[in-house]
Homo-oligomer: A and B are copies of this chain.
Amino acid sequence: MSGIPFAATPEPPYTAVIFTSTRTDGDHGYALMAQRMEALAVEQPGYLGIEASRDGELGITVSYWADDDAARAWKLVAEHLVAQERGRSVWYADYRVRVATVTRDYGGDGPMATGSARG
């Protein structure tokens, strides 16, 4: 996530993986794992970008993929990494994953945006 924090996604359709989570207390190597996870995502086929935010209670990470197959492949890679490390329950108190097909997008002033709906 260098430069602007928005993912430079292409015109729809593409796939969004919405990962919502609450953390356990303490780091337990989480920051390092999150870094490795992002570095790994960037190398995957079909990776388009990632947007992430965490406040005190809730974290939301949305990763964008060229299609559903790329998102499925990423799920296997991510789960493997988590399993290799300490397991999901060490870092996450609870989580939800939603896989979705983006059908339209629009934005403000920015590299991808036109200022009006494009889909």
Chain A interface size range:
35 or more
The answer to whether the Cβ of A37 comes within 8 Å of any Cβ in the partner chain is no
Q: Is the CB of A100 within 8 A of B100?
A: yes
- CA A106 to CA B92, docked complex, whole Å: 14
* A1-47 interface with B by 8 A CB criterion: 4-7, 9, 12, 16, 18, 20, 22
The answer to whether the Cβ of A104 comes within 8 Å of any Cβ in the partner chain is yes
- CA A103 to CA B18, docked complex, whole Å: 12
Give a binary string over A59-77; 1 marks a CB under 8 Å from any B CB, 0 the rest.
Answer: 1101000001000000000
Q: Is the CB of B106 within 8 A of A103?
A: no
User: Given the complex, which residues of B lie within 8 Å of A57, measured CB to CB?
Assistant: 5, 53
